[in-house]
Amino acid sequence: MRISKQGAEAISQALTEMFMLQKLTLFNVNLDCDLMLTICKGLESSMSLEYLDLRQNIFDEEGMVGLVNALKENMSIKHLFLESMTINK
């Protein structure tokens, strides 16, 4: 399965608006840098998300930096899964 740009925007919006969302699994959905950065916008403002699974995706260094920056804003994450990821430069 692959997430589209519209799908990433919908996830970002859900993260912003769904105050009770605690778990997000994006396992092997071919997240690239642009999609990751779109989702990161929602991650920054999510206050309830505790579990984030990004295993088996591919995004570049810029996407990882965006994720780290989003997580600095969102201190509610308790479980972050990044196994089996290839981070391209």
Q: Nearest-CA neighbor of 80 among 68, 66, 89? A: 68
pTM of the shown model: 0.89
pLDDT of residue 86: 66
CATH of domain 5-88: 3.80.10.10
The token duo for 87 is 């981070």
Per-residue pLDDT in tens (0 to 9) along the chain, 89 residues: 789 999 999 999 999 999 899 999 999 999 999 999 999 999 999 989 999 999 999 888 888 999 999 999 877 899 999 987 766 65
